[in-house]
Structure 1
Amino acid sequence: MNVLSLFAGIGGMDLGLERAGMTVVGQVEIDPFCRSVLAHHYPEVPRHDDVRTTVPWWESQSRPHVDLVAGGFPCQPVSLAGLGLAQEDERWLWPAMLDVIRAVGPEWVLWENVPGLRTRGLDIVHADLVRLGYRHRVGRIRACEVGAPQARARLLGVAHAPRLGRGTRRPGGPAGEAAHRHDQPPQGLARRTTPTRTSARHWASEPRVDRLVDGLSRELAEHHLRAYGNAIVPGVAEHVGRLIANAHALSGASTPSLAA
């Protein structure tokens, strides 16, 4: 499966999906430091710097067929730790991601965000995807449920549309229209979790020396901390990626449950 990665960051999502057997054929990331990391690990993959202009960039030349558009659009507008402006925040870039989905017409869509999205925009995301003809399911996964030494939870959504032919574009109006015109959003999937051998609380996330990060100088700490903090744990992306890949390989595939 070919993946177009939006809001790619330092490649956490991309690494996980590659481990699930997928191929990254394009990346979009606005942060220069993160792009330098991507260039080091993915030197042959074409990159762009702004999701808002991704459609003309992608259509400017012949590109591989895209099976999956994946991305974690910025969480600050919906984070419980932020101002909670949601769609009023200029960093609310779900409409830009939706524009790419509409133009590229992938069979699959994978997005991730913070749990706060459930009450601050999930209805819009769900309605927009349904309107484009996708079946959409949402799940909440903690990193420790896939073996990572942290308990951070992420909300993930998987959307699937029946195969309509390569490059087929689906109809749809402007992004982010009122959710009440569409199906109600899912209330979340029943979580079937498997406990890890080591509780996340037993792992230290930072060194004890103030303002230092393990293995990094002070000059690099700010860039690294921001990049690491925004990145999805690759194991989470791999888990969901394998579910998608398995469903994709089956005739008449349905949107999979995301439980770890």
Structure 2
Amino acid sequence: MNHLSLFSGIGGIDLAAEWAEMKTVAFCEREPFPQKVLKKHWPDAPIYDDVKTLTKERLEADGIDTGAIGIISAGYPCQPESYAGKRKGKDDNRWLWPEAFRIIQEIQPRWFVGENVAGHITMGLDSVLTDLESIDYEAQTFVIPAAAVGAFHRRDRVFIVANISSLRVEGSCAEQILGKSDLSIRQTGKSFQEAERRFNTFESRLCRTLHGLPNGVDRVKSLGNAVVPGQIYPILAAIKAIDDMIQQS
């Protein structure tokens, strides 16, 4: 299952996608330090540096088969909705959901997964869900704290899971994700405990390198913006299993 990653950061969602046996065919990330991290771990995938200029046509010109992209993820900037900021919402120039939505419209993947802070629930989320519904996607939201997967901080995150309505999925998206998560994890050949262990190793290695080494500020900033891979792994693993069953039926 091919995956396009928008607002990639240091690849938290993309690491989870790899665990779920998805292939990330391209990234979109503008910050230099996260770009270095992505290049190190996914050297063969191109990185686009401006979501505003990324289009289906540009991807295809670069040899990427957009028709084979089954899922798009987007951890679009949280500052417009975060309780830690001024909460200007759509009036904040960092409100970039419209760009993600444009790309979803152009490519029309079978699945979309969005990620944002808990403050998104009371600011902006209704617009996102309405936009997705307007182009025939059915969406459900989940709130998962990082602490639920063994992290040392709470870090609630909102995940928007949407599938295009033409998919032959019986029951709601939420029922499929929750009801088939155990099956999906078995089918990927990994246990949730193994995913959690790998994440904790990933996090601890990064944290140990923060002091006394170059890029310390960039590392802290990138970790603060990153999705904990263990938070989203069960969702992506379930999507992969459900999608495999649909494509085979």
Cα offsets for 1:191-215 (capped at 9, x unmatched): xxxxx9xxxxxxxxxxxxxxxx643
SS in 2 for 1:96: helix
Contact 1:4–1:70 (CA under 8 A) maintained in structure 2: yes
* Distance of 2:208 and 2:150 partners within structure 1: 21
Deviation at 1:249, TM superposition (A): 2.1
Per the alignment, do residues 62 and 163 of structure 1 end up closer, same or farther by CA in structure 2, a change over 3 Å counting? farther
Instruction: Report the more deviating stretch, 152-161 or 60-69.
Output: 60-69
The structure with the greater share of residues assigned to helix is: 2
Contact 1:18–1:238 (CA under 8 A) maintained in structure 2: no
The equivalent residue for 2:127 is 124
1:75 to 74, 78, 89: 78
The equivalent residue for 2:24 is 24
The one-letter code matched in structure 1 to 2:236 is G
SS in 2 for 1:247: helix
TM-score computed with the length of structure 1 as normaliser: 0.75
Cα offsets for 1:195-247 (capped at 9, x unmatched): x9xxxxxxxxxxxxxxxx64332642211001111000011121110121122
The one-letter code matched in structure 2 to 1:61 is D
2:138 to 122, 135, 138: 135
The equivalent residue for 2:60 is 59
* Distance of 2:230 and 2:165 partners within structure 1: 27
1:109 to 109, 112, 118: 112
Contact 1:135–1:160 (CA under 8 A) maintained in structure 2: yes
The equivalences for 1:64-213 within 5 A come to 64=65, 65-163=68-166
* Distance of 1:215 and 1:18 partners within structure 2: 24
Residue segments in structure 1 that go unaligned for 5+ positions in a row: 165-185, 191-195, 197-212, 254-260
SS in 2 for 1:67: strand
Does residue 47 (structure 1) correspond to residue 47 (structure 2)? The answer is yes
* Distance of 1:63 and 1:151 partners within structure 2: 37
The one-letter code matched in structure 1 to 2:86 is L
SS in 1 for 2:144: strand
Does residue 222 (structure 1) correspond to residue 217 (structure 2)? The answer is yes
TM-score computed with the length of structure 2 as normaliser: 0.79
1:234 to 229, 232, 236: 229
Query: Segments of 4+ in structure 1 off by > 3 A?
Result: none
The equivalent residue for 1:258 is none
* Distance of 1:2 and 1:252 partners within structure 2: 13
Instruction: Report the more deviating stretch, 139-148 or 127-136.
Output: 139-148
* Distance of 1:26 and 1:215 partners within structure 2: 27
Residue segments in structure 2 that go unaligned for 5+ positions in a row: 168-173, 179-192, 194-206
* Distance of 2:166 and 2:51 partners within structure 1: 25
Deviation at 1:45, TM superposition (A): 0.5
Indicate the percent of aligned positions where both proteins have the same amino acid.
36
What is the aligned residue count?
210
Task: Answer with 1 or 2: which has the greater Rg.
Answer: 1
* Distance of 2:24 and 2:105 partners within structure 1: 19
- Aligned residues: CA RMSD: 2.4
Instruction: Report the more deviating stretch, 244-253 or 70-79.
Output: 244-253
